[in-house]
Chains A and B, each alone.
Chain A
């Protein structure tokens, strides 16, 4: 059979392998995030650190983290020193990790006596120390306040767990049993994928198949990038940080051999968690670029190869020790938006207005330990030819399947969710309307504390080509009498008395084009569907 046909078949097998790992992790994890809905990330890489495949539930920033971190694992534990059955883990943001609570696990797959591939899994684990339960302390001024720091370590061998290490991990968690349960789940997922990969290798010349597959993807990626007009295009977008705004600035250069994405000129890192580790920014870059190439290209090393990314060390997009990076997604989203702005200049008519982003929050018990951690999604910006979708995952990719349902939460926790609703008139006006944001009202039945992590609230998602901005969202404390007072967009451990509610409102997306040009039929439908009130 021809190579491209083999690649097609192998591609399926590899993705299914990563898929199996994700399923096993999700089904056996304890983390609040995972239990309530979110997915697990899983990837297959080779011993050269090339990304081979990832599971469909893997967000691109998670995928970029697994890819970025593996070289550091191999640096700390040279391939020659690895043995079958070894398992490594880390969370170090400066070595490709995300932040303390996102734990990465790798397992080498041995072929002919040496590690040839790695399977990797990643989830947001239950708790790993830090200022706030669940890992969302927005007042962490350095990385040590975000949680236990884990450089690449060998957590298990064929003989079993490193008992000393697992004891240290457990001792640094508010919920040690859940943490160890999550770790077991991550390892189980990596093991399942490793076994499957070994079986695949026994059936065929895996190395040749993967080389061909990655080369084919790379050729396709180059072909697609070559369609972009040559030149350098600039864009910028701001991140909110208390009363301040920090700017992410980018210059995208399309040349004959690919694309250079240069963040020179971006504001310096700060002493709050809005910074982004380099792997996270890289994920954002790949996301934004992929929006301008064939969306059906498989995600693997072939997509990364033609893209050169410059992230100045010590800047907002590439933080250095000890600057914290747990709240990175505002910055990652800003990087994505800046690239969209740049490429919209390159390709008039293909861009989009700015979007509301994922707004995270957590509520934890004040008197006894319980934790509700979730997020809501903002409205997507309108595009040249279309309205923006409502409250669906813009920029980070996922969909609403990761948002927990009301009944399981209320069955588990002392909270009552009174409303989850689209906010009428929250989408930016324009010839194409921005997507709507949402309002979620969660009343606590016991004293609790709330952490919030929002962005694009004071400065809501901007419109494009004459469209209006979306309605800015926010976080509020609602008293039993119904009065509301705003909470900071990055609040930490804000007290909620029993009977009070946390209100989370996400921002609407920006509009596109002159609102006066909107099709009257679309205006009428918006009113009848309740998306607008006039």
Chain B
């Protein structure tokens, strides 16, 4: 019945036999690399830089190239060529390629997705036009306010007569002749994809599936028809519709990008399977990443948290704040007990605010994602003066024209320019990139110092501090705002700009330890090497906790688990399965996710989950309540741990002359030591104030901090005085 549906169509049941076979082959290959891995390649494409990491024969090689926004594979191929040449490794010996990309996010933000038709239950054709947007403060008072266009125009929205009750009972059967007429009109539009969301379909998918097949029959072979009961079978029609819609919208673009990527890799001689990082920190085979494109929206940032988790584990640290700052944004993620926090609701394209994730301001997407806060404050963020107040970002100079000091035509001052003026960065730069302090000073003088009536250095210090404060809000959102005291945590600095700001940021929160991994400048890409193959599925399961049928819950969870395994094509015993349920007080709206053990669900298992819920509720809100709880959702996540390529310890030190430089500390310029990290031996100590440089980053050690280099090339910084 569904045989004319495309291979990447998200319906597990609709995947053709050929596709399954192909997936199995790929997965076998994916498993194969674990044992015989010779060279593993990973890349992270950000807004400004494209980072490439190659592990070959236990040695790590890295390259940082400027991102090429028109065709991101350009910059990527350049970086890959460079690391392969650097390592003297043949392209053919690369047997795994892991990729993080902001493509899905950008497609949504820039509205570059496929033309999608949307079909819903009669009476609700206005659902997307109405939306559920909040009006942020500055819009409330704006008489010229205009809400954005709906994600699908009314001309491509259709209604069909049918209706289910909340429990899935059919109230009005699907009107098949009306459905065929809709199919006809959809076909006439020539859309690239169709999204279907019918009311209460999470409880009964029969109408959606039948409608999908009726529509698919009328469309050209291979046109994706995506149904909500497959993408996100949970309660809440609007979020289910937008999540479905975004799958349909991003999928074709992601699919063609990944095909182009594979072609470019093949031209280079790389035929290894491509894995794409998903938002929750696992990786998906490329085929699945196309059909589940919405799962990859936080691809890049998730990689940073995975890298931080890994680095922390190596130091025996389980409570971490990952702080990832690149050219365009800074992201903070929280790791507790050695595991990153995962959220199941986030917004794409929301209005920037504290953490950049104001609920209700963007398009809600209900897929698991590592819980992150992101602010538009990166090395490339532009400083500007408005009505006598200094502001930094969110506009970024990006890769083109870049900060003023890059000398690539950028005339506006950025955080990087300020850091250079303050002596924190090495004018030698990295790769082909030299930094020009004269251009940085000129830009800051003209656009910040003069309008504010202060000197250039004071202006640069202010830009540095404001950027620090904004990054602070990202850390704030993932810690204090959730009632978590950040002081016991270790800050892990990743990304080109993070080491310059990390210690200052830590001080702001009374954090006394900062970890700076080896090659932290390409930290997210390095994290990709350690990501597990993983997928998650969920379904609404509404029932009072005391009377819920454990057998029914077990059946739903087993079902979800099997579907996940089918997604990944895994029958492997080494698979790790994580089961969880949503729990809330009956009568409230917000649920907590509580993990269940691997054993079959029994009454005792449910009771233990409720006890855990009570404890978490009290921890979060300070309210000790034992009212009746209810289950809201069942979730299963299946993953296959990555046995990452073995990395040898740090390279032996390469001697370099000791240098000093004027740098801004405590309100004055001081002549401070500048060390090259590559020139230091394990065990070597750094005492602030000093600067430790490496090719892609510059670590600022303020007064009162000292650091030590470990035998993997990571620097642990600690604040000496205990008065924090």
Interface 9-residue window, one of A29-37, A87-95, A359-367: A29-37
Q: What's the minimum C-beta distance from B343 to chain A, rounded to whole angstroms? A: 14
A408 touches B589 (CB 8 A): yes
Minimum CB distance partner of B135 in chain A: A399
Complex Cα–Cα for A382 and B140 (A): 15
* A27 at interface by CB-CB < 8 Å: yes
Name A421's contact: one of B123, B138, B481, B620 (CB within 8 Å). B123
Q: Counting CB contacts under 8 A, is B573 at the interface?
A: no
Please give, as numbers and ranges, the residues of chain B lying within 8 Å of A531 by CB-CB distance. Answer: 154
A153 at the B interface (CB under 8 A): no
Question: CB of B652 within 8 A of chain A?
Answer: no
Which A residue sits closest to B136, measured CB to CB? A56
Tell me the smallest distance from the CB of A464 to a CB of chain B, in Å. 12
Nearest B residue (CB) for A9:
B469
Binary interface encoding of chain B residues 379-408 relative to chain A, with 1 for a CB under 8 A from any of its CBs, else 0: 000000001111100000000000000000
Within 8 A of A (CB), among B666-717: none
* Residues of chain A with a CB closer than 8 A to B721's CB: none
Contact of A397 among B135, B354, B389, B481 (CB under 8 A): B135
Of the stretches B11-19, B124-132, B212-220, B637-645, the one at the interface is B124-132
Q: Is the CB of A191 within 8 A of B235?
A: no
- Give the Cβ gap from A7 to chain B, nearest Cβ, in Å: 8
A299 & B137 in contact (Cβ 8 Å cutoff): yes
- Of A249-257, A387-395, A455-463, A486-494, the one contacting chain B is A387-395
Residues on A with beta carbons closer than 8 Å to the beta carbon of B131? 400
For A529, list chain B residues within 8 Å (CB): 153-155
- A530 pairs with B154, CB closer than 8 A: yes
Residue from the list B199, B358, B465 in contact with A56, Cβ < 8 A: B358
Q: What 0/1 pattern do residues 620 to 650 of B give for CB contact below 8 A with A? A: 1111010100000000000000000000000
Instruction: Please judge, given known A-B contacts A2-B462, A408-B235, whether A178 and B587 are in contact too, CB under 8 Å.
Output: yes
CB-CB contacts below 8 Å: B428-474 with A: 452, 454, 461-462, 465-466, 469-470, 473
Q: Is B481 a contact of A407 with CB atoms below 8 Å?
A: no
User: Among B130, B145, B469, B470, which residue has its beta carbon within 8 angstroms of that of A400?
Assistant: B130
Q: Is A168 an interface residue (CB 8 A)?
A: no
Partner of B465, one of A1, A407, A418: A1
- Interface: A19 (CB within 8 A): yes
A220–B387 contact, CB under 8 A? yes
Question: Of A390, A393, A418, which contacts B135 at CB under 8 A?
Answer: A393
Whether, in the assembled complex, A69 has its beta carbon less than 8 Å from a beta carbon of chain B, the answer is no
Q: Is the CB of B623 within 8 A of A28?
A: yes
- B622 x A191 contact (CB < 8 A): yes
B337 at the interface (CB under 8 A from A): no
**A476, chain B: closest CB distance, angstroms:** 16
- B window 107-145: CB within 8 A of A: 123-127, 129-145
Residue A383, interface by CB 8 Å: yes
**Contact of B358 with A389 in the complex, beta carbons under 8 Å:** no
Asked if A419 is an interface residue, CB under 8 A from chain B, the answer is yes
Residues A398 and B589 in contact in the complex (CB < 8 Å), given A405-B236, A410-B200: no
One of B130, B353, B476, B589 near A391 (C-beta < 8 A) = B130
> Provided the pairs A1-B462, A16-B473, A403-B132 are in contact, do residues A420 and B123 lie with their beta carbons within 8 angstroms?
yes
User: Contact: B388 with A4, CB < 8 Å?
Assistant: yes
B547 interface residue (CB < 8 Å to A): no
**In the complex the two chains form, what is the Cα distance from A101 to B360 in whole Å?**
26
Choose among B145, B359, B390 the residue with the greatest number of A CB atoms under 10 Å from its CB. B145
Rounded to whole angstroms, the CA-CA distance of A397 and B126 in the bound complex is 21
A438 to B627: give the CA distance in the assembly, Å.
38
Chain A residues closer than 8 Å to B238, beta-carbon distance = 405
B residues less than 8 Å from A416 (CB atoms):
165, 171
**Are B466 and A398 neighbours in the complex by a CB distance under 8 Å?**
no
The answer to whether B483 has its CB under 8 Å from any CB of chain A is: yes
Task: Knowing A8-B469, A529-B154 are in contact, say whether A56-B353 is a contact too (CB < 8 A).
Answer: yes
When C-beta atoms are compared, the residue in chain A nearest to B389 turns out to be A4
Name the interface residues of B477-497: CB closer than 8 Å to any CB of A.
Answer: 477, 480-481, 483
User: Smallest CB–CB gap between B1 and chain A, Å?
Assistant: 28
Whether a CB of chain B sits under 8 angstroms from the CB of A411 is yes
A420 and B171 alpha carbons, distance in the complex (Å): 18
Residue in A37, A287, A398, A406 whose beta carbon sits within 8 Å of that of B237 in the complex: A406
CA distance A19 to B124 in the complex (A): 33
Closest to A223 in B: B387
Binds B, one of A104-112, A116-124, A225-233, A290-298: A290-298
In the complex the two chains form, what is the Cα distance from A28 to B127 in whole Å?
Answer: 28
- A48: CB under 8 A from chain B? no
Chain A 138-154: CB-based contact to B (< 8 A → 1; otherwise 0): 00000000000000000
A406 with B132: CB separation less than 8 A: no
Judge whether A291 and B143 touch: CB under 8 Å.
Answer: yes
* Shortest Cβ gap from B591 to chain A (Å): 10
Contacts of A269 in B (CB 8 A): none
Contact of A400 with B199 at beta-carbon distance under 8 Å, contacts A389-B145, A405-B236 already known: no
The 8 Å CB contact of A15, one of B124, B354, B542, is B354
- Residue B409 at the A interface, CB < 8 A? no
> Do the beta carbons of B123 and A386 come within 8 Å of each other?
no
Report chain A residues within 8 Å CB of B143.
Answer: 291, 350-352, 383
A497 at interface by CB-CB < 8 Å: no
Q: Give CA–CA (A19, B147) in the complex, Å.
A: 24
Chain B residues, CB < 8 A from A299: 137
Proximity bits, A10-21, B CB within 8 Å = 1, else 0: 001101100110
Residue A184 CB within 8 A of the other chain: yes
Decide yes or no whether B600 CB sits under 8 A from chain A: no
Chain B residue nearest to A422 in the complex (CB): B126
Say yes or no: A528 contacts B155, CB within 8 Å: yes
CB distance from A15 to the nearest CB of B (A): 7
| B166 x A12 contact (CB < 8 A) | no
- Inter-subunit contact B590/A27 (CB<8 Å): yes
State the CA gap A401–B130 with chains docked (Å): 10
**Least CB separation from A7: chain B residue:** B389
Considering only residues 142-168 of chain B, those with a C-beta below 8 Å from chain A are: 142-147, 153-155, 165-166
Q: Report the bound CA distance from A12 to B388 in whole Å.
A: 18
Tell me how far the C-beta of B487 lies from the nearest C-beta in chain A, rounded to whole angstroms: 11
Q: B123–A419 contact, CB under 8 A?
A: yes
Cα distance A112–B674 when bound, in Å? 45
Q: For window 340-364 of chain B, which residues contact chain A by CB distance below 8 Å?
A: 353-354, 358-360
A57: chain B residues at CB < 8 Å are: 134
Quick check: A8 and B466 within 8 Å, CB to CB?
yes
Out of B146, B236, B360, name the residue touching A408 (CB < 8 Å). Answer: B236
Bound complex: CA A191 to CA B353 (Å): 24
Q: Is the CB of A73 closer than 8 A to any CB of chain B?
A: no
B469 with A30: CB separation less than 8 A = no
Contact B144 A26 (CB under 8 A): no
B61 → chain A, closest Cβ, in Å? 41
Contacts of A387 in B (CB 8 A): 146
Tell me the smallest distance from the CB of B548 to a CB of chain A, in Å: 15
Closest to A344 in B: B143
* A205, B126: Cα distance in complex, Å: 51
A507, B473: Cα distance in complex, Å? 41
In the complex, the answer to whether B132 meets A401 with C-beta atoms within 8 Å is yes
| A316 interface residue (CB < 8 Å to B) | no
Question: Would you give the shortest CB distance from B155 to chain A, in whole angstroms?
Answer: 5
* 7 A-B contact pairs sorted by A residue (CB < 8 Å): A5-B466, A8-B466, A192-B622, A352-B143, A401-B133, A405-B238, A420-B127
Interface residue ranges, A against B (CB under 8 Å): 1-2, 4-5, 8-9, 12-13, 15-16, 19-20, 23-24, 26-30, 34-37, 56-57, 60, 177-178, 181, 184-185, 188, 191-192, 196, 199, 220, 287, 290-291, 293, 295-296, 299, 350-352, 383, 385-387, 389-393, 397-401, 403, 405-408, 410-411, 416, 418-422, 438, 441, 528-531
- Report the 10 A-B pairs with minimum CB-CB distance, sorted nearest first: A401-B360, A419-B123, A397-B140, A399-B135, A295-B141, A290-B141, A529-B154, A401-B134, A410-B166, A399-B134
Known: A181-B627, A420-B123; 14 extra A-B contacts, CB below 8 A, are A9-B465, A12-B470, A29-B588, A30-B585, A287-B141, A291-B142, A295-B137, A296-B138, A389-B147, A405-B237, A407-B166, A416-B171, A421-B123, A422-B130
